[in-house]
Amino acid sequence: MKELALELYIGVDLGGTKTKTILATGDLEILDEKTIATRMDSEETIIQGIFETIDAIKGDRVIKAIGVATPGQLNREAGIAIQAPSMGWHNVPIARLLCERYHVPAYIENDINVAALGEFSCQDESVNNAVYINVGTGIGAGIILSKKVFLGNSGTAGEFGHLTVEPNGPLCRCGNRGCLEAIAAGPAIGARATQWARARQDSPMHALALQKELSAKEVGEFAQGGEQLAIELLQETGKYLGRAVADLVNLYDPGLVIFGGSVVLNSPDIWEAMLAEVKMRLMPIIYAQTEFAKARFKGDSGAIGAVVLAKQQMRAWVRTRKS
């Protein structure tokens, strides 16, 4: 453990609104961190933002490797972000750019999978399987089977947000109708609440909804204040989530389901309604042996997971060299 603690890694969680970078030991002790707003002007400014955060915390310390959590479709072997609509970039060689600047190996992985790695890293050694579900601006899942991230045939497994939960429901950004993300993600909650509130003059949300589209955070604040329409909407959202979670758990029987993202972590109404729906719809034998937990690292799951990614990939490379 003493030798492990001397190994230093950089973990980068690259998001559409902020970029968080940490310097950590191999046993995940965070030594320093830096968070900045992600500058979305161009691919170059996004990369420069990553450089800025790493430079701020690395100093003259020697690091072993860099891990990056990024949204979108990836070429993992080449370290290229093929397409990330939320970032506005195409075919960006993230790993090569980091290698050239810092002269250490760099690895990339989908942000939800990386967050799953981060949360799984603090589980007991006896835990082999888990599902990490993130509900925020979007909805996704990272699936861990036999202690490894399950990528699927095309490398895009875990598109949990695109399960159909309402066949004739609202149009999703993927082109389908009634996807879970189009109903239960943060922007969808705000859009549904705005529509509901504009039609209800007796709602305390009505006046604000006439001025602008509500945010999920505002809907949550109204619910905390006792606004019944907001409470009803959040509870309905929880039920939709619960049905989808039950389907996923019935299919994979992971034993552990971890939830992250502001939507589920910050709304008791969603959380309670979701768990009640899960209990009602899960097979009893599976429900009795499944733990449902909130993310331990919360907003740090991605950055910590990026360190885990870097450590795992670096050690796999070393083993390959020795064999």
- Give the Cα separation of 272 and 181 in Å (integer): 19
H or E stretch covering 313: helix 301-322
pTM: 0.92
pLDDT of residue 323: 63
Asked if domains 2-117+299-322 and 126-295 share a fold, the reply is yes
Check whether 97 has a pLDDT greater than 80.
yes
Check whether 293 has a pLDDT greater than 80.
yes
- What backbone phi and psi angles, to 5 degrees, belong to 121? -65, -25
Check whether 129 has a pLDDT greater than 80.
yes
Q: Are 65 and 107 in contact (CB under 8 A)?
A: yes
Tens of pLDDT along 43-73? 888 999 999 999 999 999 999 999 999 988 8
Q: What are the CA-CA distances from residue 147 to residues 117, 229, 248 (Å)?
A: 9, 42, 18
> Parallel, antiparallel, or unpaired: how do β-strands 8-14 and 18-25 relate?
antiparallel
Question: Of 38-42, 215-219, 319-323, where does mean pLDDT reach its minimum?
Answer: 319-323
Class of domain 2-117+299-322: alpha beta
Class of domain 126-295: alpha beta
20 is written with which tokens? 């968080």
User: Mean pLDDT across the stretch 289-307?
Assistant: 95
- Give the Cα separation of 131 and 257 in Å (integer): 5
Binned at pLDDT 50, 70 and 90, residue 314 comes out as confident
Q: Where are the domains of the chain?
A: 2-117+299-322, 126-295
In sign, the C-alpha dihedral spanning 216, 217, 222, 227 is positive
- Give the Cα separation of 206 and 197 in Å (integer): 5
